[in-house]
Amino acid sequence: MTFELAVFDMAGTTVHDPDLVALALREALTQAGCHAPLAELRALMGYTKPAAIRSMLAAHDLPASDAHVTQVHADFVSRMLDCYRTHDAVRPMDGAEEVFAWLRHRGIKVALNTAFSQDIAECLIERFGWRTRGLIDASISADLVAHGRPAPDMIRALMAECGVADASRVMKIGDTEVDVREGREAHCGLVVSVTTGAYTRAELADYKPDAILDSLHELPALLGRLDQTNVA
């Protein structure tokens, strides 16, 4: 199979984030009176943050109206922007930039999608210079489409932007179960999980991605093996 587009998740996949998202989410929820343990919040990584907030508020018998969710989400976004602009631990995931360049050199477009809102996504992209350095071709965030993960809306929008008509020529790479489900809903030709984020290898295996990698450095070798299998 000749791939034309690689769609990567951000936090935990292409962005090194030592639990900063879950911590910011916990702080915003705590401010709203919702004392959710980190384990519950980690399980919601990959989902749109308003949906995660609504789920936590409802689970803890707190008001989950649109207005309340919006208020908590605004607090979360403010905390994330402060963190992602300055925190020393926030950096490109090991292998991410090398793999972006490797794919683009081979004519495969590179796109990012994320459950963050656009302002957070752009904060990271600008900090790392990924767009200005020509390492990515497109990006999208969940607040720019009708439905976030696991719906295929973000992937389909990226396909349209990148001129890719056949979903079987798209690969999706992410670190959560909802990344796997998104890739399947979009009928991607390859769905890859990485163990660098929210889920362990054993946890990811339950959702049956096509491959599980411990590092993005392993992606070129995986694609090489697939090419050999197709030729055979």
Indicate if 119 and 13 belong to the same structural domain: yes
CATH of the domain at 29: 1.10.150
Query: What pLDDT sits at residue 74?
Result: 94
Residues 110, 101: Cα–Cα separation, whole Å: 9
Give the residue among 142, 49, 126, 123 at the shortest CA–CA distance from 83: 123
Indicate if 68 and 119 belong to the same structural domain: no
Indicate if 221 and 110 belong to the same structural domain: yes
Indicate if 184 and 227 belong to the same structural domain: yes
Last residue of a domain, one of 86, 117, 142: 86
CATH of the domain at 221: 3.40.50.1000
Last residue of a domain, one of 86, 121, 137: 86
Residues 156, 102: Cα–Cα separation, whole Å: 23
Indicate if 24 and 13 belong to the same structural domain: no
Residue 91: its H or E element? strand 91-92
Query: What pLDDT sits at residue 211?
Result: 98
* Range(s) of the domain holding residue 72: 20-86
Residues 152, 184: Cα–Cα separation, whole Å: 8
Residues 203, 30: Cα–Cα separation, whole Å: 27
Residues 86, 131: Cα–Cα separation, whole Å: 19
Indicate if 110 and 67 belong to the same structural domain: no
Indicate if 69 and 153 belong to the same structural domain: no
Indicate if 37 and 118 belong to the same structural domain: no
Indicate if 197 and 165 belong to the same structural domain: yes
CA–CA distances in Å: residue 153 to residues 113, 126, 161, 168: 10, 24, 12, 16
Last residue of a domain, one of 68, 86, 104: 86
CB distance 178 to 169 below 8 Å: no
Percent of the chain with pLDDT over 70: 98
Count of the separate structural domains present in the chain: 2
Query: What pLDDT sits at residue 232?
Result: 46
Indicate if 227 and 191 belong to the same structural domain: yes
Q: One-letter amino acid identity for 140?
A: I
pTM score > 0.85 for this model? yes
Indicate if 110 and 203 belong to the same structural domain: yes
pLDDT tens-digit map of 85-117: 999 999 999 999 999 999 999 999 999 999 989
Q: Provide mean pLDDT across the span 169-176.
A: 97
Indicate if 58 and 106 belong to the same structural domain: no
